[in-house]
């Protein structure tokens, strides 16, 4: 038996193993399995239950890595990818749409950091550490209400 995926014979050059995908992307095998679990990848299976990925999944993983670098959580990335019909990998046009959305997120982060920095500069002058007076502490302070779990480093 050579290249049967769930009973269907297919040209073998189209498919790669998890180990190969790992080598091509630099992402650990365990992480790729984890990504499947999270709905980022949808590999086929051989009759023996081994994963077989499409070559195009290399791009898909690249997309995930880049999006992560831009600060998106895996869950958000799943959402972006889910907007593509049929779990298709992003085309140039998709990618433009998605990256424009990402750009907005980055812009927001930069804006926030700049504001924080300005406030810090004022604080350097006054040395204030008062909960009732410090602008740094009091501006939009809803972070403390977020409940359990780790809070966003910057949000």
Partner DNA sequence: GCTTGACCTCAACTTAGCTTGAGGTTGCAT
Partner DNA sequence: ATGCAACCTCAAGCTAAGTTGAGGTCAAGC
Rounded CA separation 151/137 (Å): 16
Among the residue ranges 27-35, 79-87, 94-102, 106-114, the one whose residues contact DNA (CB under 7 A):
27-35
Question: Quick check: 7 binds DNA (CB under 7 A)?
Answer: no
Cβ atoms of residues 53 and 21 within 8 Å: yes
Question: Quick check: 127 binds DNA (CB under 7 A)?
Answer: no
Question: Quick check: 17 binds DNA (CB under 7 A)?
Answer: yes
Among 21, 14, 42, 120, CA closest to 3: 14
The CB-of-63 to its own copies minimum distance in angstroms stands at 6
Among the residue ranges 26-34, 54-62, 99-107, 120-128, the one whose residues contact DNA (CB under 7 A):
26-34
- The one of DNA, its own copies, none whose footprint includes residue 124, by CB under 5 to 8 A per kind, is its own copies
For the chain, helix (H) and strand (E) counts, in that order, are 6, 5
Question: Quick check: 94 binds DNA (CB under 7 A)?
Answer: no
Cβ atoms of residues 91 and 85 within 8 Å: no
Question: Quick check: 105 binds DNA (CB under 7 A)?
Answer: no
Question: Quick check: 24 binds DNA (CB under 7 A)?
Answer: no
Give bridge partners of residue 16 from the DSSP assignment. Answer: 53
The CB-of-144 to DNA minimum distance in angstroms stands at 7
Neighbouring CB atoms inside 10 A of 62's CB total 16
The CB-of-58 to its own copies minimum distance in angstroms stands at 7
Rounded CA separation 129/107 (Å): 29
Rounded CA separation 122/31 (Å): 44
Question: Quick check: 50 binds DNA (CB under 7 A)?
Answer: yes
Using CB under 7 A as the criterion, which residues of the chain lie in contact with DNA when the complex forms? 1-2, 17-20, 22, 28-31, 33-35, 46-51, 68, 73-75, 147-151
């Amino acid at each position: 038996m050579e290249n049967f995926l769930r009973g269907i014979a297919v040209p073998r050059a189209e498919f790669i193993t998890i180990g190969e995908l790992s080598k091509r992307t630099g992402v650990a095998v365990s992480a790729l399995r984890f990504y499947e679990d999270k709905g980022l990848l949808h590999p086929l299976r051989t009759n023996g239950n081994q994963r077989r990925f499409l070559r195009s999944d290399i791009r898909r993983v690249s997309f995930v890595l880049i999006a992560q670098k831009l600060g998106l959580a895996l869950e958000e990335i799943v959402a972006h990818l889910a907007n593509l019909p049929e779990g298709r990998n992003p085309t140039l046009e998709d990618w433009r749409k998605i990256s424009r959305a990402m750009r907005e997120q980055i812009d927001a982060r930069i804006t926030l950091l700049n504001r924080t920095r300005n406030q810090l500069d004022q604080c350097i002058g006054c040395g204030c550490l008062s909960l009732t007076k410090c602008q740094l502490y009091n501006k939009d302070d809803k972070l403390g209400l977020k409940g359990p779990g780790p809070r966003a480093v910057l949000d």
